[in-house]
Amino acid sequence: MICKLALEDGTVFTGQAFGAAGTRAGEVVFNTAMTGYQEVITDPSYCGQIVVMTFPLIGNYGVNAEDIESGGLHLSGLAVKELPRRPSNHRATGDLAACLAERGVMGICGIDTRALTRRIRVHGALRGVLSTEVLDDVKLVQAARSAETMAGANLVTRVSPAKVRSWDERSDDSSASRARACHLVAIDCGIKYNILRHMAHVGDRVTVVPAFASAADIRALAPDGVIVGNGPGDPAAVEETIATLKALLGEIPMLGVCLGHQMLALAAGAHTYKLKFGHHGANVPVMNQPAGRVEITSQNHGFAVDASELERCGGVVTHVNLNDGSLEGFALPERNCAAVQFHPEASPGPHDSGHVLRAFVETVRRGERVGAEVFQSQVR
């Protein structure tokens, strides 16, 4: 079946459909990870986006029940160059095309993803439309131009759970120490399962609350520390969660991850801005300044924190992106919190920053204030 991907700049790519049929719109972004496509498509942070995988062969090892990062697929579509029809891996329990079809997600294959990626790098993330129904190029381009923009979009409401829940599943990392009980609360704005697994392993008890939980709701749980997780859309639009964080700053130790990094900065009084094409991949180099080392990180975000604004609010810059110089981590020692823009749980990706969650919990256990020192841990 023919499928077309039209961009708002007038470019149209024609390929073959896989997954679901129909018409879907979204912001078109590219991801540079060579493996981990199942973790990518199940990451709620891709809500409202059509993801282009730059690695040419996607789907070769199939899918399985162990590598998912959420309860569903939230992305608008997936674009790949070559889709193997027969996956080959001893862990596979299904194939990528069937996985997308079962969950109503569209895919397009057989297009020049290199040309598409170069266009996004030059012009920035573009709105696009995938369709197996409307094959008229002019109509598709018009539809792309009228699609929702990511700036100002509160997409957290689409992926955050409705109820409080406990999380018991732990990671298989055997290096962590659990010297005494530590109750962690995770604010779920679209948080990935592997962040929760790591929290359960390095902590003792993990309670997951919706993004709209109030400061009073969180205080009632009596947490030792709070993790503000990843999620989709414009951080500045998630006003309810930002208000909660503002009320809790300085009261409960907090660690922000990805969207949580941005919202903690906003709660402190800093500003965010939209990146040209974002950071989406498993190979992004970041300078960890407190530790004096470079870490290769997994990332997925389209917005960043203004570093000068953060410093004006009393923040300390701890991590810097070595590709574009953008802010990748900070500490607010006077407000007992720290944050990283990347995904320390590495799902998918390298484990260079796997120490972050463990170091945060150990700091909380010792009763110390959270500052830049949490990033000085040795990589394990």
**Positions marked catalytic:** 258, 343, 345
User: Contact at 8 Å (CB) between 294 and 284?
Assistant: no
What whole-number distance in Å separates Cα of residue 245 and Cα of residue 259? 13
What whole-number distance in Å separates Cα of residue 229 and Cα of residue 44? 11
Q: Which of 274, 219, 275, 230 is nearest to 256 (CA)?
A: 230
Half-sphere exposure of 227 (CA within 13 A, CB side): 36
User: Contact at 8 Å (CB) between 337 and 264?
Assistant: yes
- Please report, in angstroms and rounded to a whole number, the separation of the first and last CA atoms in the chain: 48
Q: Which of 39, 8, 22 is nearest to 106 (CA)?
A: 22
Q: Which residues contact 212 (CB under 8 A, 6 or more apart)?
A: 160, 240, 241
> What is the DSSP pairing of strand 126-131 with strand 205-210?
unpaired
Eight-state DSSP code of residue 291: T
What whole-number distance in Å separates Cα of residue 315 and Cα of residue 123? 32
SS3 345: coil
SS3 134: coil
Q: With both helix axes pointing from N to C terminus, report the angle between 193-202 and 355-365 in degrees, rounded to the nearest 10.
A: 40
Token pair belonging to 123: 């012009």
> What is the DSSP pairing of strand 327-332 with strand 316-321?
antiparallel
Buried residues in 305-327 as b, exposed as e (16+ CB within 10 A)? bebebbeebebbbbbbbeeeebb
Angle at the Cα of 221 from the Cα atoms of 219 and 226, rounded to 5 degrees: 70
